[in-house]
């Protein structure tokens, strides 16, 4: 009798009709072998991997993609549930049968002349009861190698699955990289994702956003946990005590920099556990515990440099766990290193741009694609927490939400309780930057920074957050931050980056009950004297402004949130509607 796993692999073989089938074992020897093979392979007329300078960046390779395949494609991403209501207005929806028919058409025989890589992997430490077992098939070596960095690939996944049918199934073929034949379809009820036509991270590394967030959030709702788009950090105080935080931010808010922060405050240290995804469970002791299901960083290269994120630069130069991949950056031909805007002040004179052309800086275009990426193992990170592999996860004392706002939102405030924290998170707004398409500076709502990643109706998701709050005995405190407030002449008022550790210190003091706060309509604000501003060149009036609530701004804010809520109709939980009304009344008094 075949096991469900064997049946799945056979089904895949019959559907995709590959010339060869290869089962990955996750060893380093295998990674080297596949990288060598990728150096000799072409896709789309491009060599899949090129070796970079290993003196500068050990074990690193370069990959560039079709210019039409450089980012997630939300308009081609679907949640396929029996009813549209289950997927909610936050997702594109297709009937599961219709979606499967469509994908079958693309998948049939798509791997003829290619090798099918079977990737058995575990999201989370295989020893953790919170870990999940998965199998992805793909015909892209780049995807296979990336998966080795981003997840725990190897035999342990096969052993853990054994005879069980309880594992995630990921079906991926890069096809002919044609945007007209590109879809990412999620089937939460079947623990299944089908993806065709893209090799890009979030579209193709199915353990990442597809499984760990979209399918994960659905599983979390069923099983009583949370799959969140959050960093995990441990902040060590001078007395040695470590306080664990989660943090969720829409894109372009400095999330990765916070995950690898070097605090400016003496005696403080940030230990990194995750830069993108957290799975949060209720522990036996009634606390929330978080694990990072991933084992790598898939980070944006532009803007990463020794000034903005020295820890990441060091991570990229470590070689404990190979390989490190650079995708769609430029190449400095003088020494065969990857180059991107922000890695050095000076633009090298002999650059190949991300599409393989000679770079001419006079054309005013960037040499690296704005969404060019590095893929690197967490084990290369010098600030990796020693608790990273703890199967139990780390106990969470604080959850930080944030957004990029030139006005309205103060530098930091604390939610009065869990439910008001859920309200704050459900109404996060952030201004769009040049990194996203559309109007620059428009405020977009992105609840919990999960809008593109929640695999079911977001109204039900808010309810799930409220329900979790009822079950947890020791609830973490919830904070909202805004590092981006501007003054009358459009200048940032807060220095940001390493100075943000001052705000985190205040949070720790609040968690430990060491400082009082001022209660205002929206929550609890720091008393100016309880912020540690020693050594920072900032006027007291500026700090006062940073912590000011302008009622007129807030009335407008509430209207915008009300408007956003109407999208979800009856699905918005009563607690949140009541809270919104209460806040509105307080602000109009
Ligand atoms: O590949 S990811 O989806 O994680 C990165 C992105 O947001 O595009
Ligand atoms: Mn992300």
Note the pLDDT tens digit of each residue in 33-54. Answer: 999 999 999 998 899 999 999 9
pLDDT, tens only, 300-359 = 999 999 999 999 999 999 999 999 999 999 999 999 999 999 999 999 999 999 999 999
Residues of the chain above pLDDT 70, percent? 99
pLDDT, residue 441, reads 84
Do 397 and 465 fall into the same domain?
Answer: yes
Is residue 253 annotated as part of the catalytic site, yes or no? Answer: yes
Same domain (yes/no): 287, 201: no
Q: Is the residue at 458 inside a domain?
A: yes
The predicted pLDDT at position 252 comes to 87
Positive or negative, the CA dihedral 253, 251, 340, 382 is positive
Query: 481 alpha carbon to ligand 2 midpoint, in Å?
Result: 18
Residues 93 and 207 placed together within one structural domain of the fold: yes
Structure tokens at 476: 């973490």
Which pLDDT score, from 0 to 100, does residue 120 have?
A: 98
Q: Region 141-159: what's the mean pLDDT?
A: 98
Residues 424 and 493 in one domain: yes
Nearest residue to 416 (alpha-carbon basis) of 583, 259, 195 = 583
Residue from 74, 200, 209, 372 whose mutation best tests the ligand 1 pocket (most atoms within 8 A of CB): 209
Whether 103 shows a pLDDT value over 90: the answer reads yes
* The pLDDT of residue 456 is above 80: yes
Nearest to 395, CA basis, from 475, 302, 331: 475
**Which ligand sits closest to the CA of 209?**
1
Q: State whether 17 and 166 are in the same domain.
A: yes
Identify the helix (H) or strand (E) that includes residue 577: helix 574-588
- The mean per-residue pLDDT over the stretch 390-408 comes to 98
Q: Mean pLDDT across the stretch 66-73? A: 96
Between helix 141-150 and helix 28-40 the angle, nearest 10°, is 150
Q: State the pLDDT at residue 255.
A: 95
Instruction: Report the pLDDT value the prediction gives residue 434, as an integer from 0 to 100.
Output: 67
Ligand number nearest to the C-alpha of 274: 2
In this predicted model, what pLDDT tens digit does every residue of 378-393 receive, in sequence order? 999 999 999 999 999 9
In the predicted model, is pLDDT for residue 439 greater than 90? Answer: no
Q: Reduced to 3 states, what is the DSSP secondary structure of residue 17?
A: coil
Asked if 265 and 199 sit in the same domain, the reply is no
Decide if pLDDT at 90 tops 90: yes
How far is 58 from 324, CA to CA, in rounded Å? 8
Distance, CA of 589 to CA of 586 (rounded, Å): 5
The closest-lying atom of ligand 1 relative to the alpha carbon of residue 72 is 8
Determine what percent of the chain falls in helix, strand and coil, rounding each to the nearest 5: 35, 25, 45
> Is 103 a domain residue?
yes
Distance of CA 4 from the midpoint of ligand 2 (Å): 32
Distance from the alpha carbon of residue 201 to the mean position of ligand 2, in angstroms: 10
* pLDDT number for residue 435: 60
Tokens coding 567:
């999208």
Q: Which residues surround ligand 2, an ion (CB under 5 A)?
A: 276
Q: Which two tokens stand for residue 195?
A: 């993806």
What CATH number is associated with residue 14? 3.40.449.10
pLDDT classification of 433: cutoffs 50, 70, 90: confident
Say if residues 465 and 476 touch (Cβ distance below 8 Å): no
Nearest C-alpha to atom 3 of ligand 1 is from which residue?
202
Residue 222: per-residue pLDDT: 98
Over residues 477-492, mean pLDDT: 98
- Segment 570-586 mean pLDDT: 97
Q: Do 403 and 254 fall into the same domain?
A: yes
Question: Residue 44's pLDDT is what?
Answer: 84
Predicted confidence (pLDDT) at residue 421 exceeds the cutoff of 60: yes
Q: Report pLDDT for 100.
A: 98
**Is 516 within the bounds of a domain?**
yes
Q: Is the Cβ–Cβ distance between 278 and 225 less than 8 Å?
A: no
69, 74, 76, 201: which to mutate for ligand 1, most atoms within 8 A of CB? 201
Instruction: Quickly list H helices, 186-299.
Output: 201-204, 216-223, 255-259
Q: What are phi and psi of 441, to 5 degrees?
A: 95, -5
Are 378 and 296 in contact, with CB atoms under 8 Å apart?
yes
What the block records as the tokens of 286 is 């009634």
Give the per-residue pLDDT at 77: 98
**Residues within a 6 A CB radius of ligand 1:** 71-72, 201-202, 208-209, 298
Number of Cα atoms under 13 Å in the Cβ half of residue 182: 22
Looking at the fold, whether 96 and 216 belong to one and the same domain comes out as yes
* Mean pLDDT calculated for residue range 60-70: 97
Q: Is residue 368 part of a domain?
A: no
Q: Are residues 416 and 543 in the same domain?
A: yes
Indicate the helix (H) or strand (E) that contains 226.
strand 226-228
SS (H, E, C) 54-76: CCCCCCEEEECCCCCCCCCCHHH
Distance CA 183, CA 258 (A): 33
Residue nearest to atom 5 of ligand 1 (CA): 202
Q: Is the pLDDT of residue 190 over 80?
A: yes
Residue nearest to atom 4 of ligand 1 (CA): 202
- The pLDDT value recorded for residue 437 is 57
488 class by beta-carbon count within 10 Å (0-12 exposed, 13-18 middle, 19+ buried): exposed
pLDDT given for residue 214 in this prediction? 98
Got the DSSP string for 468-537? Answer: HHHH-SBPPEEEEE-TT-B-TTS-BSS--GGGGHHHHHHHHHHHTT-S-EEEETTEEEEPGGGS--TT--
Q: Which residue among 134, 210, 253, 381 is the active-site one?
A: 253
Q: What is the mean pLDDT of the chain?
A: 97
Residue range 224-247: mean pLDDT, rounded: 98
**CATH classification at residue 572:** 3.90.228.20
* pLDDT at residue 440 in the model: 80
Q: How far apart are CA 162 and CA 2, in angstroms?
A: 11
Residue 69 lies in a domain: no
Indicate whether 274 and 131 sit together in one domain: no
Residue 474's beta-bridge partner residues?
A: 287
Domain boundary among 174, 196, 224: 224
The rounded Å distance from CA 229 to ligand 2 centre is 6
Our count of domains for the chain comes to 2
A 10 A CB-CB count for 24 gives 23
pLDDT score for 196: 98
Residues 154 and 234 in one domain: no
The predicted structure's pLDDT at residue 284: 97
Assigned token pair, 36? 């060598």
Rounded mean pLDDT, 413-419: 98
Residue nearest to atom 1 of ligand 1 (CA): 202
Q: Phi first, then psi: what are they for 102, rounded to 5°?
A: -60, -50
At 539 the pLDDT is 97
The alpha carbon of 197 is separated from its chain's Cα centroid by a whole number of angstroms, namely 22
- Mean pLDDT of all residues in 57-70: 97
* pLDDT tens digits, one per residue of 544-558: 999 999 999 999 999
343 domain residue, yes or no: no
Q: What are the structure tokens assigned to 472, written together?
A: 């947890």
Residue 111 lies in a domain: yes
Q: Which residues pair with 272 in a beta bridge?
A: 233, 384
Domain with 22, as residue range(s), is: 4-30+75-224
Last residue of a domain, one of 162, 189, 224: 224
CB 298 within 8 A of CB 336: no
Interval between CA 207 and ligand 1 midpoint (Å): 12
Residues 118 and 182 in one domain: yes
Please give the pLDDT value at position 438: 64
Domain assignment present for 487: yes
- Mean pLDDT score, 497-519: 98
Q: Which atom of ligand 1 is nearest to the CA of 71?
A: 8
Average pLDDT of span 267-291: 98
Average pLDDT of span 434-455: 86
**Could you say which of 224, 242, 274 is where a domain stops?**
224
């Amino acid at each position: 009798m075949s096991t469900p796993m064997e049946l799945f692999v056979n089904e895949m073989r019959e559907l995709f009709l590959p010339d060869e089938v290869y089962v990955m074992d996750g060893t380093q020897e295998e990674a080297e072998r596949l990288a060598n093979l990728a150096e000799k392979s072409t896709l789309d007329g491009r060599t899949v991997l090129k070796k970079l300078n290993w003196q500068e960046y050990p074990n690193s390779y370069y990959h560039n993609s079709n210019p039409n395949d450089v980012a997630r494609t939300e308009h081609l991403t679907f949640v396929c549930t029996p009813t549209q209501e289950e997927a909610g207005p936050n997702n594109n929806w297709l009937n599961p049968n219709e979606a499967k028919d469509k994908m079958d058409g693309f998948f049939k025989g798509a791997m003829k002349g290619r090798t099918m890589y079977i990737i058995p992997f575990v999201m989370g430490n295989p020893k953790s009861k919170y870990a999940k077992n998965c199998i992805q098939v793909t015909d892209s070596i780049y995807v296979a190698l990336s998966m080795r960095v981003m997840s725990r690939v190897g035999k342990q996944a096969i052993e853990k699955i054994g005879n069980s049918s309880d594992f995630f199934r990921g079906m991926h073929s890069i096809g002919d990289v044609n945007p007209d034949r590109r879809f990412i379809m999620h089937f939460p009820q079947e623990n299944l994702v089908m993806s065709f036509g893209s090799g890009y991270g979030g579209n193709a590394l199915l353990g990442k956003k597809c499984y760990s967030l979209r399918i994960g959030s659905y599983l979390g709702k069923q099983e009583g946990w949370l799959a969140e788009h959050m960093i995990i950090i441990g902040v060590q105080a001078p007395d040695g005590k470590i306080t664990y935080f989660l943090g969720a931010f829409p894109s372009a808010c400095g999330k990765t920099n916070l995950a690898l922060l070097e605090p400016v405050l003496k005696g403080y240290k940030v230990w990194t556990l995750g830069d993108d995804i957290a799975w949060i469970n209720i522990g036996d002791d009634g606390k929330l515990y978080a694990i990072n299901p991933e084992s790598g960083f898939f980070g944006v290269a532009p803007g990463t440099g020794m000034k903005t994120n020295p820890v990441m630069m060091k991570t990229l130069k470590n070689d404990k766990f190979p390989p490190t991949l650079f995708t769609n950056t430029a190449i400095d031909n003088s020494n065969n290193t990857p180059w991107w805007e922000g890695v050095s002040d000076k633009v090298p004179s002999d650059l190949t741009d991300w599409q393989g052309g000679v770079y001419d800086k006079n054309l005013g275009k960037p040499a690296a694609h704005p969404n060019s990426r590095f893929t690197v193992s967490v084990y290369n990170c010098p600030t990796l927490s020693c608790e990273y592999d703890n199967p139990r996860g780390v106990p969470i004392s604080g959850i930080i939400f944030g957004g990029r706002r030139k006005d309205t939102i103060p530098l930091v405030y604390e939610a009065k309780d869990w439910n008001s924290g859920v309200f704050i998170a459900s109404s996060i707004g952030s201004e769009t930057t040049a990194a996203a398409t559309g109007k620059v500076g428009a405020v977009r709502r992105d609840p919990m920074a999960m809008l593109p990643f929640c695999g079911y109706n977001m109204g039900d998701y808010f309810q799930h957050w409220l329900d979790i709050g009822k079950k947890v005995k020791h609830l973490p405190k919830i904070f909202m931050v805004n590092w981006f407030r501007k003054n009358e002449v459009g200048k940032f008022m807060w220095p940001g980056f390493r100075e943000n550790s001052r705000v985190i210190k205040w949070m720790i003091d609040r968690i430990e009950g060491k400082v009082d706060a001022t209660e205002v309509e929206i929550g609890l604000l720091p008393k100016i004297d309880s912020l540690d501003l020693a050594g920072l060149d900032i006027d007291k009036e500026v700090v006062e402004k940073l912590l000011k609530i302008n009622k007129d701004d807030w009335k407008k804010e509430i209207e915008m949130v009300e408007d956003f809520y109407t999208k979800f109709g009856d699905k918005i939980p009563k607690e949140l509607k009541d809270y919104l009304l209460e806040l509105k009344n307080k602000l109009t008094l």
